[in-house]
Amino acid sequence: MRAPNWQLAPTLLVVKAPRILIAVPAFNEERTVDRVLSRILGYGLPMLVIDDGSTDSTAARTAKHPVALVRHARNEGYGAVMRAVFAWAAHQDFDWVITMDCDDQHEPRFIPDFLREIALNDVDVVSGSRYLTALPSDVAAPADRAKINRTMTAEINEVLCGAFEGPLTDSFCGFKAYRVHACHALQLNASGYEFPMQFWVQAAAHRLQVREIPVARIYLDAKRSFGNGLDDPARRLAVYRSTLASEIDRCAARLRHLRPQTGAVRCS
């Protein structure tokens, strides 16, 4: 009796495309919101706008676009908005969220670059950098902002050395892509523009994989206010340093993998 000729059917591996959201924080952006949303919508991705207590027509203008809109009754700050973005994206089962500002300083033409990095599926955060590569469209940053960014980025690299794919070149750019479930475990409570200081420490503590990609450096309003007394550069720098130091202390146990043999956190 001849043995049966068994043939196994080929296995078809189905890889589900990630669900990607674009989230746009907005506060009193009636001059730019229509243009920004229209340009981003051209990339065919679902969008969320969080209106952080605007007192102008930002919310009314946003409501005319095919986007999800969340409104805060009062201005809660950039960090609070970012926490709301992560929570909303997780609740809606998105895999990634790309954040872009509503002041027309984040060029939508870089969205495909973020999508390519997301498709590689080998990092948790894709961080736009305005200083990684010089681009023809770059403009000079206001002197105080450039100096503070340079100072704090260097200090972050010093205390978190080896945490990411390479040293950071821009610790403040809000043009980023985040893997949603990777951010779910982070214990974030910073409410204002000090949020990045807390985020980078938390990312290192939870061993998130981070990669920077170049984006254009655009400043359309050099006098834009930070609010909460942070327009004074010295005070702003002090708040950022205080947040960074506090978060390093809070996450010390989780940062042991970064410490040299001496046991110190710093890597200078």
Model pLDDT for residues 159-168, shown as the tens digit of each residue: 998 899 999 9
Per-residue burial over 81-116, b = 16 or more CB atoms within 10 Å of its CB, e = otherwise: bbbbbbebbeeeebbbbbbbbbbbbbbbebbebbbe
As a whole number, mean pLDDT of residues 143-156 equals 96
Task: Give CA–CA dist 251/237, Å, rounded.
Answer: 21
Instruction: Record the pTM.
Output: 0.90
Total domains in the chain come to: 1
CA nearest neighbour of 89 among 39, 34, 21: 21
Question: Residue 14 pLDDT more than 80?
Answer: no
**pLDDT class for 221, splitting at 50, 70, 90?**
confident
Structure confidence at residue 42 (pLDDT) = 97
**154: Cβ contacts below 8 Å, ≥ 6 apart:** none
Residue 171 in any domain: the answer is: yes
pLDDT in tens, 24-80: 999 999 999 999 999 999 999 999 999 999 999 999 999 999 999 999 999 999 999
Position 47 in a domain: yes
Strand 96-99 to 20-26 pairing: parallel
8 found inside a domain:
no
CA distance 197 to 239: 10
Owning domain of residue 146? 20-222+230-258
User: Left (φ > 0), alpha (ψ -120 to 50) or beta: where does 259 sit?
Assistant: beta
CATH number at residue 35: 3.90.550.10
